[in-house]
Amino acid sequence: MTEKEILLSSILSCSRSVLYSQEWSLNAAQAKKLSEALSLRSQGVPLQYILGETEFFGLTFQVDERVLIPRPETEILVEMVLKSAAGQMKILDIGTGSGCIVVSLAKFLPEAQIDALDLSLEALSLAKENALMNSADKNINFIQSDLFSVFKKNNLNNRLRNYDIIISNPPYIRSGDINGLQKELAYEPRMALDGGEDGLDFYRRIIAEAGNFLNKEGLLFLEIGFGQRENIEKIASLSNDFILDEIIKDYSGIERVMIMRKYGKVGN
């Protein structure tokens, strides 16, 4: 289906098959909508923002300029978490954005207790709407926090030091690369993309602290960017907190998800 057809079926609120098999016409308002949408698209506004929604893990999510558009690769991260998770686990998602990861998990793990952190209040409010829209709001807590800062600020370190699983798909593009990539990226929140000079800032910060908030043998699931695996593995081995459990490639054969296990040090 071409982008024009996708926009058409959205404007006409009809399915693709109707578009192909039945007579239809646009009234004046719909025609105006279509030409506005096509013009936004030609300026580089991502199709998903124009439609106002996207599909992820078989669910519908609202998306706009407040959040990163969920990527199909991230579904692999969700699948891997679902393989390891069960029952009443405590799960933390760092940088929840649209909420695509936590909402998908909540649908399949209705007994899990999930905390979803984001620094952006705007993102959190959209993530909450997405949870509500997918009837997954009961077991997710949305909390504003710059990574783990909320736990430290409130001195809740000990109480909260008991996640079974920590997940993050952090910003991982090198600052200097962002402008040279697809023009669509300019419309997504910079803070959701920019991983600092070498793209690895958030991996360093997350790996340095995640061990303090995981149970023994707890798992850390990270989405990673092209060519970053080796450096992240180094960061992890220097931290002495984690051992590498598994690396999963995406559909293009790129190493995309790293699973690390908290190292059960004596006395920890």
Judged by CB under 6 A, the residue of 33, 37, 90, 95 near ligand GLN is: 95
Our CA angle for 67, 148, 101, nearest 5°, is 40
Count, residues in the chain: 268
214-217-218 Cα angle (round to 5): 35
In the complex, least distance from residue 147 CB atom to ligand GLN, rounded to whole angstroms: 12
Q: Which is nearer to ligand GLN, 37 or 200 (CB)?
A: 200
Rounded to the nearest angstrom, the gap between the alpha carbon of residue 118 and the centroid of all alpha carbons in its chain is 11
SS3 53: strand
Q: Which residue in the set 8, 37, 63, 68 belongs to the binding site for ligand GLN (CB under 6 A)?
A: 68
62 binds ligand GLN (CB under 6 A): no
Q: Which of 161, 130, 1 is nearest to 68 (CA)?
A: 130
192 binding ligand GLN? (CB under 6 A): yes
Looking at 169, 200, 221, 259, which residue binds ligand GLN (CB under 6 A)? 169
The residue type of 65 is E
When binding is defined by CB under 6 A, the residue of 46, 70, 199, 225 that contacts ligand GLN is 70
Q: Measured from the CB atom, is 33 or 205 closer to ligand GLN?
A: 205
Q: Are 11 and 33 in contact (CB under 8 A)?
A: yes
Residue 232 contacts ligand GLN per CB under 6 A: no
Question: Using the rule CB under 6 A, is 97 a contact of ligand GLN?
Answer: yes
Cβ distance to ligand GLN smaller for residue 33 or 90: 90
Alpha helix (H) residue ranges in 135-228: 149-153, 190-193, 201-210
* List of residues contacting ligand GLN (CB under 6 A): 68, 70, 74, 95-98, 100-101, 169-171, 192
